[in-house]
Amino acid sequence: MQASQVTDKIFRLSANIESDTLFEGIWPLPHGCSMNSYVVKGREVAIVDGVCDWDGVPETLYAQMDEIGVDVKDIRYVIINHTEPDHTGWLKSFQKITNNFEVVITQKGQELANAFYGLDIKYRTVSSGDSIDLGDGMKLLFEETPNLHWPDTMVTFEESTGTLMSCDAFGGYGAIGSSPYDDQLDEEQLRFFEKEALRYYANIVCRFSPSVTRAIKKLEHLQARIVAPGHGLVWRRDPKRIVSLYERFASYFAGPAEPVVTVLWGSMYGNTEKAVAPILEGIASEGVKAIVHQVPQSHISDILASVWRSTGVVLAMPTYEFKMFPPMAAVVDELGRKQMIGKLALRTGSYGWSGGAQRELDEIVERQKMKWQFLEPVEFKGALLEMDRRLLVSRGAELARRVRETALAAR
């Protein structure tokens, strides 16, 4: 990785998380993920956010400082927007090199930094509206954005260039090569990173969507000309594009999402699998898009992204030992944990000597306060019969109609 110039006196440093790593120990990264850090040069030098402490990663950061002519020992301020270790793990290494710096952080951030690292370093706690003048026309303004997605979070805004360094806010998955800026990419490449931003949002941020909405409104007055997150692309040609994308993602929390149905299915011996095709037939008859995931074959990371953008959900799974097909129960529970609420839904599936899947589904939905609105379920004993198939086509069409009407009414 090489350092690059974001704008006058601001530089991007970066390291990529490779595809064999699970982000947060959970989420797969088939296309990797970048960790971005920013150096702001005035008469004094500040670094905004950092990297993890994995082998060789802090050293990558220091080498990139050399590229832009910054001696590590010249850094006066370490700005921590967010204390999560993928942005702060390097501090232990950094302190061994120099002690001539202040850590600029929120009060909650300092509490977390002490808990994670217990370092004997100088802290300067800041609140919304506080600032640091670096000299030579470079001034950093701080705005707290709590619960985006930790309670400690803030953003850093450089006033003269209009650069918003937002850490996890407005971030996304995807490793970054020699083209880290939106003005270096074509539309197809931008759409790839937008898709990775959706998965990142659904995996990491979606539960905190009300905080996202509040933060976007709070930051409007800054009129950022560049958005520089801690993961993903730097947006300097069209910063409103990523802000609007996050605003749209956040809106799915409180109201209908897109006119899309996610179909989740799992099957032991193929009987429930046979219910999927007629449901898809019904959905297609209404001109509504369907996204299909097999459970447990599809990773929960991709399922979350799909369900988050969908107004409708189909759950097709058999009864298993008087309860839900266990992988599907785990998926629905995770959807509840992420507060994917208010979906229109249909449940179907086969059972043998006993039902019971519906009872457990009802329990999970109630416990997680998901507020899903279900059509009448289609449960069948053993193999799928023709009358069941016809009913599933009808139910699929009914769900699609309601999804389309609900989503379009919200626009």
Span 239-255, average pLDDT = 96
Domain boundary among 232, 254, 276: 254
219, part of any domain: yes
Number of domains in the chain: 2
- Same domain membership, residue 198 and residue 57: yes
CA distance 246 to 209: 9
Under the banding of pLDDT at 50, 70 and 90, the label for residue 95 is very high
- Same domain membership, residue 146 and residue 64: yes
Predicted confidence (pLDDT) per residue in 336-388, tens digit: 999 999 999 999 999 998 889 999 999 999 999 999 999 999 999 999 999 99
Predicted confidence (pLDDT) per residue in 275-333, tens digit: 999 999 999 999 999 999 999 999 999 999 999 999 999 999 999 999 999 999 999 99
- Same domain membership, residue 265 and residue 247: no
Residue 298, domain CATH: 3.40.50.360
Predicted confidence (pLDDT) per residue in 390-411, tens digit: 999 999 999 999 999 999 887 6
In this prediction, residue 51 carries a pLDDT of 85
- Same domain membership, residue 208 and residue 184: yes
In this prediction, residue 56 carries a pLDDT of 74
- Same domain membership, residue 125 and residue 103: yes
- Same domain membership, residue 151 and residue 134: yes
263, part of any domain: yes
Span 213-226, average pLDDT = 98
Worst-scoring range by mean pLDDT, 28-32, 169-173, 252-256? 252-256
- Same domain membership, residue 185 and residue 262: no
- Same domain membership, residue 213 and residue 297: no
Domain boundary among 254, 286, 304: 254
411, part of any domain: no
- Same domain membership, residue 316 and residue 277: yes
Domain boundary among 254, 279, 310: 254
In this prediction, residue 408 carries a pLDDT of 86
- Same domain membership, residue 297 and residue 200: no
Predicted model pTM: 0.96
Residue 223, domain CATH: 3.60.15.10
- Domain of 357, in residue numbers: 258-406
Under the banding of pLDDT at 50, 70 and 90, the label for residue 1 is low
To the nearest whole percent, how much of the chain has pLDDT over 90? 92
In this prediction, residue 355 carries a pLDDT of 87
- Same domain membership, residue 159 and residue 77: yes
- Same domain membership, residue 248 and residue 103: yes
